[in-house]
Amino acid sequence: MINSTRGRPSILVVDDTPGNIDVLREALKKDYTIRPALDGVTALKIAAADPKPDLILLDIMMPEMDGYEVMRRLQADASVREIPVIFVTAASDIESELKGFELGAVDFITKPFSHAVIRARVSTHLELHDARKKLEKQNQELKAKSDLLEKIANLDSLTGISNRRHFDEVLEVEWSRALRNNAPLSIIVADIDYFKGFNDHYGHIEGDKCLCLVAQCLSSSLQRPTDMVARYGGEEFVAILSGTDIKGAELLAENWRAEVERLHILHAASAVAGHVTISVGYATLVPTRSMMPYYLVGVADEMLYQSKGMGRNQICGREIPPFF
Ligand SMILES: [Mg+2]
């Protein structure tokens, strides 16, 4: 059975003997449109022009360009490589058959053949080809869906930046990378000052808006594609900066603090300013095997509390010296 979605399939029949083409045309004309070619060059032209044939019946023994060479050229062209090719030949030795399969033929038919056999083989290979195409398409769709799901699973649903789960994953990866490269790794944590007061004063809807604005602000301040920022929980954010030393971390921490001030989100319940501010802590180290990734996060967190203790709307950081 021919796939009904395809319409009437067309078959390119390549043979230097017109009589052989006539025999194949007789066998197949009921179900297929036959496009004849008497030499390799013409065959390649027909194969490459749209609409392309659905299948190719290819004679091996031809003067100038033989069937093997036609096959090689078809395989070298991505636009026609997937058209199934069946070799049709008088040769019945195993070697030429193997050579045909090695070159990418899907089947091998030796002359003389019965009409029923050629019809069955052509129909089978068209079906197989359709089934494979369908499967490839389904796989692609499935992959796209699973990529999307994974992406969604990594995002914080309110702010749209990465969530804690994704942060944990990236931290493991970047920690290992830094360990291998003997490179510095920095963590920055930021917390919105007097956020409970903000929520109490303006309500939770405004509170959520504030979180989104701050999240976008922090995210757009990142410099390099490998830098990532996540919502760590509540009104706390965290960034991983791979290959970044203490100077780089300090620059970004201060940039974060200044950029959030520049948002100028009114905050009547803040004791430090009339607008929303953040306190920031950062820490840098070159990982060694005796350390755990969360040690670095813990130190950055301590630095954040130091910023809070020093009056908020400021940054504090520490470079952790190597120990073994
Ligand atoms: Mg021939």
Distance 64 CA to ligand 1 centre (A): 11
Q: Global pTM?
A: 0.65
Distance, CA 8 to ligand 1 centroid (Å)? 27
DSSP, collapsed to helix, strand or coil, labels residue 239 as: strand
CA 32 to ligand 1 center in whole angstroms: 22
Task: Quote the ligand 1 centre to 38 CA distance (angstroms).
Answer: 9
Query: What is the Å distance from ligand 1's center to 90 Cα?
Result: 8
> How distant, in Å, are the alpha carbons of 13, 48, 100, 214, 312 from that of 39?
10, 15, 18, 69, 83
71 CA → ligand 1 middle, Å = 15
Q: How far is the CA of 13 from the centre of ligand 1 (A)?
A: 12
Ligand 1 centre distance from Cα of residue 125 (Å): 22
14 alpha carbon – ligand 1 mean position (Å): 9
Asked, for residue 1, whether it belongs to a domain, the answer is: no
Q: Is residue 302 part of a domain?
A: yes
Question: Are residue 52 and residue 124 in the same domain, yes or no?
Answer: yes
- The mean per-residue pLDDT over the stretch 247-262 comes to 97
Q: What is the pLDDT of residue 172?
A: 96
What 3-state class would DSSP assign to 207? helix
Distance 16 CA to ligand 1 centre (A): 5
**Domain assignment of residue 207, yes or no:** yes
d(CA 53, ligand 1 centre) in Å: 20
Examine the domain organization and report whether 213 and 293 are in the same domain.
yes
CATH number, position 168? 3.30.70.270
pLDDT at residue 7 in the model? 77
Distance 21 CA to ligand 1 centre (A): 10
**Residue 236: which pLDDT band, with cuts at 50, 70 and 90?**
very high
How remote is the CA of residue 9 from the centroid of ligand 1, in Å?
24
Whether residue 4 lies inside any domain: the answer is no
Instruction: Residue 38: name the closest of 57, 56, 15 by CA.
Output: 15
CA 54–ligand 1 middle distance (angstroms): 22
Distance 62 CA to ligand 1 centre (A): 5
pLDDT greater than 70 at residue 324: no
Expressed in angstroms and rounded, the spacing between residue 67 Cα and the centre of ligand 1 is 9
- E-only strand ranges, 150-295: 185-192, 228-233, 236-242, 278-285
Examine residue 84 and say whether the peptide bond preceding it is cis (omega within 30 degrees of 0).
no
CB-based contacts of 107, cutoff 8 Å, min separation 6:
84, 86, 87, 121, 125
- For residues 217 and 152, give the distance between their C-alpha atoms in angstroms, rounded to a whole number: 21
- CA of residue 2 relative to chain centroid, distance: 34
- Residue 284's domain spans which residues? 164-319
* Tens digit of each residue's pLDDT (9 = 90 or more) over 278-294: 999 999 999 999 899 99
Token digits for 297?
A: 């996060």
- Give the distance (Å) from ligand 1 centre to CA of residue 110: 12
| Three-state DSSP state, 274 | coil
Question: At 85, which helix (H) or strand (E)?
Answer: strand 85-89
**Residue after which a domain boundary falls, among 144, 178, 202:** 144
Among 1-5, 22-26, 124-128, 279-283, name the one with the lowest average pLDDT. Answer: 1-5
- Going by the DSSP 8-state scheme, the letter that residue 35 receives in this structure is E
Instruction: Based on the fold, state whether residues 221 and 76 are members of the same structural domain.
Output: no
**Statement to judge: residues 134 and 227 lie in one domain:** no
As a whole number of angstroms, the distance between CA 29 and CA 47 comes to: 19
- The verdict on 125 and 200 lying in the same domain is no
Encoded tokens for 73: 């050229």
Query: Cis peptide leading into 9, omega within 30 of 0?
Result: no
Give the burial string for 310-321 (b: 16+ CB within 10 Å, else e): eebbbbbbbbbe
Claim to verify: residue 171 and residue 135 sit in the same structural domain: no
Are the C-beta atoms of 307 and 316 separated by less than 8 Å? yes
Using the 8-state DSSP alphabet, how is residue 268 labeled? T
Give the number of domains in the chain. 2
**Alpha helix ranges (H) inside 49-114:** 67-76, 94-102
Structure tokens at 11: 């078959």
Give the pLDDT confidence of 166-223 residue by residue, as tens digits.
Answer: 999 999 999 999 999 999 999 999 999 999 999 999 999 999 999 999 999 999 999 8
Ligand 1 mean position to 118 CA, how many Å?
17
Same structural domain, 287 and 140: no
The 315-319 sheet, strands edge to edge: 228-233, 236-242, 185-192, 278-285, 315-319
Per-residue pLDDT at 221: 94
Among residues of the chain, what percentage have pLDDT more than 90? 84
